Amino acid sequence: MTTRRNFLQATPAAFLAARALAAKNGLTLGVASYSFRKFSREKAIEMIKACNAPYVSVKSFHLDYKATPEEFTLARKQFKDAGLTILSGGNIDLKGSEAEIRAMFEYAKAAGFPMIVCAPSAATMPTVEKMVKEYNIRAAVHNHGPEDKHFPTPQSILDVIKNMDPRMGLCTDVGHTARTGVDVVKTLAESGPRLFDIHIKDLKNLSDKDSQCAVGEGAMPVREIFAQLKKMKYKGAVMLEYEINADNPLPGMQKSFEHMRQVLATQKS
């Protein structure tokens, strides 16, 4: 009932207000649909609307890699009819063979993703670049923190892509980045035009993966992060990736958006 009530409050006017706030403050807030991984596409769409977040990055839970052409068409229509703009898809593993990587770009093409958030290895990065050029779909490489033997930090990605096609960039996960001990705000500044996407989350302890909480309840320097993004005229999205409370994520996600919008509304231009 709570979800349904919140859904009914997600009016077109609320979406327009969210888009207007993004335009005014120069930052776009959205949802990584992985946050709703335990729910169907229809239910995920309903809850994204309840967050008043009209932008989405679609995870395969909500559009299967092996979907039929009819299913791709239906999914695109469902997101569009709900007033949601698909900005990307992923996270997608791109550590396999060239044929496997090509299949994922075919998937992204069929799904209508202008960008894929991905996890390649250094060895497969040239193949990813090749596909980016062929399909004209941007690749935002995601870092996964201390446990990631390939790309723990955004800097480790930058070192590989710095001379590659300009459509090769970063999806910086601020939670995973913070856990490596680097300065998140400085890292964003160093990424410059290669920064395509951001996954935002909060941690009560910036070195503890298991301390995730609603944005605004932890130690993540959200205000400083937003200030840096505005300073560098960041054109990508800030996607909430809420990895906790998988069975009932909506209350914490709504609280997270409330905090982020409050930060934006009170931030100096």
Supply the pLDDT for residue 12.
Answer: 67
Q: Where along the chain do its domains lie?
A: 25-266
Return the biggest CA–CA distance within the chain. Answer: 52
From 92, 135, 151, 86, select the one nearest 116 (Cα to Cα): 92
pLDDT tens digits along 85-106:
999 999 999 999 999 999 999 9
Q: What angle do CA 174, 195, 35 make, to 5 degrees?
A: 45
pLDDT along the chain (269 residues), means of 10: 45 64 77 98 97 97 98 98 97 98 98 98 98 98 96 97 98 98 97 98 97 98 97 97 98 98 88
What architecture (CATH level 2) is domain 25-266?
Answer: Alpha-Beta Barrel (3.20)
Supply the pLDDT for residue 130.
Answer: 98
Q: What angle do CA 63, 253, 221 make, to 5 degrees?
A: 115
Supply the pLDDT for residue 254.
Answer: 98
Three-state SS string across the chain, please?
A: CHHHHHHHHCCHHHHHHHHHHHHHHCCEEEEEHHHHCCCCHHHHHHHHHHCCCCEEEECHHHCCCCCCHHHHHHHHHHHHHCCCEEEEEEEEEECCCHHHHHHHHHHHHHHCCCEEEEEECCCCHHHHHHHHHHHCCEEEEECCHHHCCCCCCHHHHHHHHCCCCCCEEEEEEHHHHHHCCCCHHHHHHHHHHHEEEEEECEECCCCCHHHEECCCCCCCCHHHHHHHHHHCCCCCEEEECCCCCCCCCHHHHHHHHHHHHHHHHHCCC
Q: What angle do CA 253, 259, 260 make, to 5 degrees?
A: 90
Cβ–Cβ < 8 Å for 128, 98: no
pLDDT tens digits along 170-225:
999 999 999 999 999 999 999 999 999 999 999 999 999 999 999 999 999 999 99
